[in-house]
Chain A
Amino acid sequence: MPGLFAYLIWTLCTLLEAGVIVCAVKKKAVRPYFFLNLYMAMSLLVSVGRYNILQHYGLVSNQYTYFYYYSDTLLTILLYFALTSLYSHVFSEMNAEQYVKLGAVLLLGGTALFSYGVVHQAESKLVTHFVVELQQNLYFVGLVLTYVLWFAVLKLRETRTRLIQLVLSLGVYFSLLAANYALRNLYPSLTALFQILPPLVGCFLPAAWAYAFWRIPEEARLVPARLAVIR
């Protein structure tokens, strides 16, 4: 069974995920940011599901392991679509939504093929290897896509504060997760240490999104050039 600290982080994260949905409903931000809310709702359901499976079968059971990795990959794919929806917001005035959707599906397919290419020689548990590999690759693709989106925000002089904060928080989240996976690959002996990080990082995203929905009004504006580190 996980320790007290892990349970605390888990509970906090689940509450924050619920908080995002409550804030979005209160501030009427569900429809404009549908995929972001869908991701948070699914994260909430997955947390509850994981807790139930953990109570019934235990931490080291196959059921929990499979549910954990498969649900995590599903969430990563959903987050990828949430990111794509932010692209649609930024490019809305250019009527480029169809191209964004097509590009997102193609890139997702490409990442899946690449992941399969990496793991197809594994003789046992091919699907499980594939699921884990796909997730790791999607984190990095997500990070690069968020960076490109941030670049587009700066170039197109996007001024919506809430949208900017959603993009930046997603960037911080993806960067931390990608760095964590890279460290785990570089130092496999320290895996136990790097396993603590994802739940902590997982709390940042719902906290930042809840803040953006609750505290930043939709009509708030700022000059994005003032936020850029490199101009």
Chain B
Amino acid sequence: MMAAVILVCSIIFLLQFFISYCRSLIASSSRESLSQEVQDVTGMARPASEEEFARVVQLLQLCPERPEERGEVSLIRAYFRMLGVMRSSLARIVPSLERWTSSERGQCTHFAAVVLGRRIAFSRNLFAQQLNN
């Protein structure tokens, strides 16, 4: 009985901490506006929508990776999927969750687009360095 109570409490706490942690990662990017280049490449407008996430991630995979961003992107992808699971399960019981998960997934897309912008700039620098060498 005690173990079951601890399990339920742990899962509730885990969800809260994990969601807040991912939001703290996304928060820094939400203030950054998308460069014109990223908007052209992705065809995205502000605010970003969740439907564009898969395409932005595909574009991300085409760019050379910056090592310091590997963990962040994986975590946000996991968060995006978790929100999808929440929407297809819990949101059927609590309808207000649907709008919230949709807005959160949009924030994830914006985050991915900001990272894409940084990667494009990084690739540019690499290319310029190679030309100079």
A contacts, CB < 8 Å to B: 140, 143, 146-147, 150, 161, 164-165, 168-169, 171-172, 174-176, 178-179, 181-183, 185-186, 207-208, 211, 214-215, 220, 222-223, 226-230
CA distance A207 to B28 in the complex (A): 19
| Given contact pairs A214-B68, A227-B27, A147 touches B13 in the complex (Cβ within 8 A) | yes
Residue B127 CB within 8 A of the other chain: no
Interface of B is mostly: helix
A171 touches B10 (CB 8 A): no
B3 touches A182 (CB 8 A): yes
Residues of chain A within 8 A of B21, CB atoms compared: 165, 168-169, 171-172, 208
Shortest distance in angstroms between A32's beta carbon and chain B's nearest beta carbon?
19
B16 touches A229 (CB 8 A): yes
Residue B23 CB within 8 A of the other chain: yes
- Residue of A whose beta carbon sits closest to that of B4: A186
CA distance A178 to B9 in the complex (A): 9
CB < 8 Å: which of B9, B14, B24, B68 contacts A165?
B24
Shortest distance in angstroms between B116's beta carbon and chain A's nearest beta carbon?
18
CA distance A184 to B27 in the complex (A): 36
Residues of chain A within 8 A of B4, CB atoms compared: 182, 186
B24 touches A161 (CB 8 A): yes
| Given contact pairs A175-B17, A226-B27, A182 touches B71 in the complex (Cβ within 8 A) | no
| Given contact pairs A171-B13, A179-B11, A185 touches B3 in the complex (Cβ within 8 A) | yes
B10 touches A143 (CB 8 A): yes
A172 touches B71 (CB 8 A): no
Residue B20 CB within 8 A of the other chain: yes
B7 touches A229 (CB 8 A): no
How many A-B pairs have beta carbons closer than 8 Å: the answer is 86
Residue B15 CB within 8 A of the other chain: yes
CA distance A146 to B16 in the complex (A): 12
Interface of A is mostly: helix
Chain B 46-74 interface mask (CB, 8 Å, partner A; 1/0) = 00000000000000000000001001100
B71 touches A150 (CB 8 A): no
Residues of chain B within 8 A of A165, CB atoms compared: 21, 24
B68 touches A175 (CB 8 A): no
Residues of chain A within 8 A of B71, CB atoms compared: 207, 211
| Given contact pairs A150-B17, A175-B10, A168 touches B24 in the complex (Cβ within 8 A) | yes
CB < 8 Å: which of A175, A207, A223 contacts B13?
A175
CB < 8 Å: which of A176, A181, A220 contacts B14?
A176
B6 touches A230 (CB 8 A): no
| Given contact pairs A164-B24, A214-B68, A172 touches B14 in the complex (Cβ within 8 A) | yes
B16 touches A179 (CB 8 A): no
Sample 7 A-B pairs with CB under 8 A, ordered by A number.
Answer: A147-B16, A164-B24, A168-B17, A174-B13, A176-B10, A186-B4, A208-B21
| Given contact pairs A143-B10, A179-B11, A229 touches B20 in the complex (Cβ within 8 A) | yes
